[in-house]
């Protein structure tokens, strides 16, 4: 127990800072109460931690595995030693309590007569459904695929996201009263007008971007050429082809890295990743690239594909040239600056093209009046997410094609707010920041805090990872999770102490209990 204790009253000088967000919460796209749930873990209150997270995040198990954690980049603890492992702590309560137990929820009270249809059960769709159900609406999600989860289920390999964890999140949303209809593609068997006739008063289109982009170059028609997203989807379904020999990936984003790691697990003896970008500019998350390198995947940055070579209709290799620089044209498309004098050829038994994805154009069959943007995305007002059709909203990768999981969830939350306002006959709302972020200069850092290094996540050894699709990150043991959570400075400045959430007070330099 700390020796310095104070009681903060409303007239103390630090009370005026009550509404300021700590940097971690402000950086989070969905503004989770990070210090609140980390403190609950530090105190052994795991159910409370889960409840605090689910005030804003229904996908805690998934986010604890695949979030890009911008909160950690601004963590004040990083000024002293290392940032708190916020993402890894997020998954701990569900892991510790058991995913079946963590997935339980009580039905939300139904206070509104209107029914809302959500097309797509990815991060945006599930989050919007969660928020709308808690607002009292009846919500039905229409999912084209046989399993709910969208890109979390079919775009993220199981070695990165355990399916039991994802199922726990989905069961939690369903427990609120949300109905999920799988094998219900919109645009083929059902149209938007059909949904209206079925009684849905508002529609959210959250279909993601699941149409893989290809390349126009010689050899793409050869046997042994695959595309990144369909390859990963087939791997998730257990339908991916067995691979042998050398596999070359074209692309430097997260899908390319996931495809490379999946190829190893499908039997490839060597995997090479080529991309236009330099090593430091690769769009994939650096920690994902690191894992790929640990598993033996070889990188070939600053290289542009010239042609896929073949013999007898089968892939034999990939010819590359140097990419000196990347420019964008007037439509925002990437244009490589090539140096044809530097050439390279890689032998290959298979080539996987993973250069990006777009929205499936078949969705326009759902309503031909639904407008598209310049990149094939579904157009909507960026402030309210309203489409050009009355009562139809758009969220997630359907609009922002290369988004993140939490970015899509934030869009789902914004859509839910405006669907609620639309159904109440109120003007749509431009979402504003929930409050200013606090600033802590080095001079105000608590000098009494002992330096303690971050507790790393236990992982499978690299040599063992590629033998199966088992999740690579193994999760914290309880003692490690509690110890890591106790590194948090709980720097959310006055107010939380009034509600039994302890903190370090940066005005008094005392630990409040």
Pair 308, 220: CB distance under 8 Å: yes
Q: What is the DSSP string of 401-467?
A: TT--HHHHHHHHHHHHHHHHHHHTTPPP-----SSPBP---GGGS-TTSPP-PPPPPPB--HHHHTT
Whether residue 8 has pLDDT greater than 50 = no
* Angle, helix 163-175 to helix 123-134, in steps of 10 degrees: 30
How far is Cα 133 from Cα 175, in angstroms, rounded to an integer? 10
Q: What is the pLDDT of residue 20?
A: 73
Q: What is the pLDDT of residue 364?
A: 61
Instruction: Tell me the pLDDT tens digit for each residue of 461-474.
Output: 998 999 888 999 99
Residue with tokens 């067995």: 242
Looking at the DSSP bridge assignments, the partners of residue 139 are 116
CA distances (Å), 338 to each of 96, 307, 342, 344, in order?
52, 14, 9, 13
Instruction: Kindly indicate the confidence band of residue 435, based on its pLDDT and cuts at 50, 70 and 90.
Output: low
Residue 256: helix, strand or coil by DSSP?
helix
CA atoms within 13 A on the CB side of 468: 7
Pair 160, 258: CB distance under 8 Å: yes
- The structure's pTM equals 0.89
How far is Cα 223 from Cα 485, in angstroms, rounded to an integer? 51
How far is Cα 26 from Cα 433, in angstroms, rounded to an integer? 9
CA distances (Å), 175 to each of 85, 128, 180, 183, 408, in order?
29, 15, 11, 20, 22
- Among residues 165, 168, 210, 202, the alpha carbon closest in space to that of 185 is found at 210
Whether residue 507 has pLDDT greater than 50 = no
Instruction: Kindly indicate the confidence band of residue 3, based on its pLDDT and cuts at 50, 70 and 90.
Output: very low
CA distances (Å), 312 to each of 169, 190, 271, in order?
48, 43, 23
CA distances (Å), 331 to each of 120, 246, 371, 375, in order?
29, 36, 18, 9
Q: What is the DSSP string of 11-51?
A: TSGGGGGTTPBPHHHHHSTT---HHHHHHHHHTT-HHHHHH
Pair 103, 95: CB distance under 8 Å: no
| Structure token digits, residue 478 | 């309880």
- Mean pLDDT computed over every residue of the chain: 87
Instruction: Tell me what the mean pLDDT of segment 318-336 comes to.
Output: 85
Q: What is the pLDDT of residue 487?
A: 92
CA-angle at 264, arms to 260 and 265, nearest 5°: 115
Instruction: Tell me what the mean pLDDT of segment 192-215 comes to.
Output: 90
How far is Cα 259 from Cα 273, in angstroms, rounded to an integer? 10
Instruction: Tell me what the mean pLDDT of segment 469-486 comes to.
Output: 95
How far is Cα 159 from Cα 474, in angstroms, rounded to an integer? 10
Instruction: Tell me the pLDDT tens digit for each residue of 362-414.
Output: 666 556 678 877 677 788 998 999 999 999 999 988 777 678 999 999 999 99
Q: What percentage of the chain has pLDDT greater than the value 70? A: 87
Instruction: Tell me the pLDDT tens digit for each residue of 104-147.
Output: 899 999 999 999 999 999 999 999 999 999 999 999 999 999 99
| Structural domains for the chain | 13-102+440-512 (1.10.1060), 115-210+359-423 (3.50.50.60), 213-354 (3.50.50.60)
Low-confidence winner among 55-69, 168-182, 231-245, 330-344 (lowest mean pLDDT) = 330-344
Q: What is the pLDDT of residue 511?
A: 42
Task: Judge residue 409's burial from the number of C-beta atoms within 10 Å of its C-beta, 0-12 exposed, 13-18 middle, 19 or more buried.
Answer: buried
97: phi then psi, degrees, rounded to nearest 5:
-75, -20
Instruction: Tell me the pLDDT tens digit for each residue of 294-318.
Output: 999 999 999 999 999 999 999 999 9
- Among residues 323, 311, 380, 377, the alpha carbon closest in space to that of 348 is found at 311
- Among residues 200, 229, 149, 228, the alpha carbon closest in space to that of 408 is found at 149
Region at 493 (left for phi over 0; alpha for psi -120 to 50; beta for the rest): left
Instruction: Tell me the pLDDT tens digit for each residue of 246-289.
Output: 999 999 999 999 999 999 999 999 999 999 999 999 999 999 99
- Among residues 43, 85, 1, 40, the alpha carbon closest in space to that of 452 is found at 85
């Amino acid at each position: 127990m700390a020796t310095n204790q104070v009681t903060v009253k409303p007239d103390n000088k630090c009370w005026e800072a009550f509404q300021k967000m700590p940097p971690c919460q402000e950086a989070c796209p969905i503004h989770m109460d990070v210090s609140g749930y980390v403190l609950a873990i530090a105190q052994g209150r795991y159910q409370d931690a889960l409840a605090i997270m689910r005030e804003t995040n229904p996908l805690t198990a998934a986010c604890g595995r695949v979030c890009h954690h911008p909160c950690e980049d601004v963590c004040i603890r990083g000024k002293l030693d290392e940032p708190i492992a916020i993402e890894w702590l997020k998954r701990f309560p569900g892991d510790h309590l058991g995913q079946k137990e963590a997935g339980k929820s009580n039905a939300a009270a139904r206070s509104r007569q209107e029914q809302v249809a959500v097309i797509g059960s990815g991060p945006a769709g599930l989050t919007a459904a969660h928020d709308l159900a808690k607002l009292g609406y009846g919500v039905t999600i229409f999912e084209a695929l046989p399993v709910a989860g969208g890109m979390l289920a079919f775009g993220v390999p199981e070695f990165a996201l355990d399916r039991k964890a994802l199922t726990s999140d989905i069961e939690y949303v369903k427990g609120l009263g949300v109905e999920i209809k799988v094998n219900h593609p919109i645009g083929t068997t059902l149209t938007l007008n059909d949904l209206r006739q079925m009684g849905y008063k508002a529609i959210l289109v959250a279909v993601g971007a699941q149409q893989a982009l290809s390349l126009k170059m010689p050899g793409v028609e050869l046997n042994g050429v695959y595309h990144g997203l369909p390859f990963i989807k087939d791997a998730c379904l257990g339908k991916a082809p067995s691979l042998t020999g050398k596999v070359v990936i074209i692309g430097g984003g997260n899908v390319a890295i996931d495809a490379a790691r999946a190829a190893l697990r499908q039997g490839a003896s060597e995997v090479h990743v080529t991309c236009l970008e330099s090593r430091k500019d690769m769009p994939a998350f650096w920690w994902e690239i690191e894992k790929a390198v640990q598993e033996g995947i070889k990188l070939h940055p600053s290289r542009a594909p010239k042609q896929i070579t073949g013999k007898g209709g089968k892939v034999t290799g990939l010819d590359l040239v140097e990419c000196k620089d990347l420019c964008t044209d007037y439509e925002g498309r990437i244009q490589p600056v090539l140096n044809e004098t530097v050439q390279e050829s890689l032998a290959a038994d298979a080539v996987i093209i993973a250069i990006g994805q777009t929205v499936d154009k078949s969705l326009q069959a759902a309503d031909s009046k639904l407008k598209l943007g310049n990149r094939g995305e579904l157009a909507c007002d960026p402030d309210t997410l309203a489409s050009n059709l009355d009562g139809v909203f758009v969220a997630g990768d359907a609009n922002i094609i290369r988004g993140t999981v939490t970015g899509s969830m934030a869009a789902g939350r914004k859509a839910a707010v405006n669907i609620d306002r639309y159904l109440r006959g109120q003007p749509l709302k431009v979402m504003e920041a929930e409050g200013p972020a606090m600033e802590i200069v080095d001079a105000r850092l608590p000098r009494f805090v002992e330096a303690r290094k971050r507790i790393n996540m236990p992982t499978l050894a690299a040599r063992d990872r590629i033998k199966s699709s088992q999740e690579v990150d193994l999760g914290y043991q309880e003692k490690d999770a509690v110890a890591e959570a106790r590194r948090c400075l709980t720097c959310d400045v006055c107010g939380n102490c009034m509600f039994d959430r302890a903190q370090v007070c940066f005005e008094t330099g005392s630990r409040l209990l």
